[in-house]
Structure 1
Amino acid sequence: MKRVVVMLSMKAWKEAELRLKKIVTIDVSHERAISKEKEYWKDILKRIMSVVKTLAICNLALRGGNEKIDDCNNVNFLRIIKMITEFDPIMQEHLKRSTKRWEILKNHVKYRDGKGLTLKSWLETRWQSRVSSVKAIRFQAPQIKNSLIHLMENSDDATTVSDAQSLAKYLKFDFLVSMVIWYEILNKVNKVSEVLWKKDMNIDDAISLLNGLITYFEE
Structure 2
Amino acid sequence: MTSWIELERRLQKKKTIDESVQVAINKEKEHWKQVLKRIIAVVQRIAKNNLALRGDCEKLYDENNGIFLQLIEMIAEFDPIMEEHLRRVQERQIHYTYLGPKIQNELIQVLAAEMSLVNRYVDDLENAIVVEEFWIGFFKVNETSGLGLLIELKNILSNLELAIDDISGQGYDNGYNMKGKHKGVQNRLLEINSRAFYTPYGCHNLNLTLCNMVNCCPKAMSFFGVIQRIYSLFSYSTKRWKIFKDHVQGLTVKPLSQTRWESHVESVKPIKDQTSKIRNALIDLANTSYDSKIKSEVEVLASFELENFEFLTGMIIWYKLLYEINIVSKFLQSEKMDIDVAIGQLKGLISFLQEFRESGLDQALLEAKHIASEMGIEPIFREKRIIRRKRQFDDINSEELMEFISNNNYRKFTI
Q: TM-score range by the shorter chain?
A: 0.5 to 0.7
Question: How many residues matched?
Answer: 145
Q: What does residue 305 of structure 2 align with?
A: 170
Greater shift after overlay, 126-135 or 188-197? Answer: 126-135
Q: What does residue 243 of structure 2 align with?
A: 104
After superposition, the Cα gap between the structure-2 partners of 1:177 and 1:72, relative to the gap in structure 1 and judged at 3 Å, is closer
Paired with 2:53 and 2:91, the residues of 1 have a C-alpha distance of 16
Q: CA deviation at 1:74?
A: 4.7
Q: TM-score, normalised by structure 1?
A: 0.56
Query: Given the alignment of the two structures, is residue 184 of structure 1 paired with residue 320 of structure 2, yes or no?
Result: yes
- Listed one character per residue, the Cα deviations across residues 198-217 of structure 1 (whole Å, up to 9, x for unaligned) are 12211110111111110101
Q: What does residue 146 of structure 1 align with?
A: 280
Q: CA deviation at 1:84?
A: 7.5
Contact 1:117/1:136 (<8 A) preserved? yes
Query: Given the alignment of the two structures, is residue 210 of structure 1 paired with residue 349 of structure 2, yes or no?
Result: no
- Listed one character per residue, the Cα deviations across residues 152-191 of structure 1 (whole Å, up to 9, x for unaligned) are 2232222331221122121111101110110010000000
Secondary structure of 2:342 counterpart:
helix
After superposition, the Cα gap between the structure-2 partners of 1:97 and 1:138, relative to the gap in structure 1 and judged at 3 Å, is closer
Match of 1:130 among 248, 264, 267: 264
Paired with 1:175 and 1:218, the residues of 2 have a C-alpha distance of 23
Match of 1:70 among 61, 79, 103: 61
After superposition, the Cα gap between the structure-2 partners of 1:106 and 1:69, relative to the gap in structure 1 and judged at 3 Å, is farther
Higher relative contact order (CA 8 A, sep 6+): 1
Q: CA deviation at 1:125?
A: 2.2
Q: What does residue 295 of structure 2 align with?
A: 161
Secondary structure of 2:237 counterpart:
helix
RMSD, aligned CA: 3.6
Q: What percentage of aligned pairs have identical amino acids?
A: 45
Contact 2:56/2:255 (<8 A) preserved? no
After superposition, the Cα gap between the structure-2 partners of 1:85 and 1:109, relative to the gap in structure 1 and judged at 3 Å, is farther
List structure 1 runs of 4+ shifted beyond 3 angstroms: 64-80, 82-86
Paired with 1:72 and 1:218, the residues of 2 have a C-alpha distance of 39
Match of 2:90, as an amino acid? M
Structure 1, gaps ≥5 residues long? 1-59, 87-95, 111-115
Q: What does residue 144 of structure 2 align with?
A: none
Contact 1:127/1:193 (<8 A) preserved? no
Q: TM-score, normalised by structure 2?
A: 0.31
Match of 1:106, as an amino acid? K
After the TM superposition, which residues 48-67 of structure 1 pair with which residues of structure 2 at under 5 Å, given as runs? 63-64=54-55
More strand as a share of residues = 2
Structure 2, gaps ≥5 residues long? 1-42, 44-51, 71-85, 94-234, 356-415
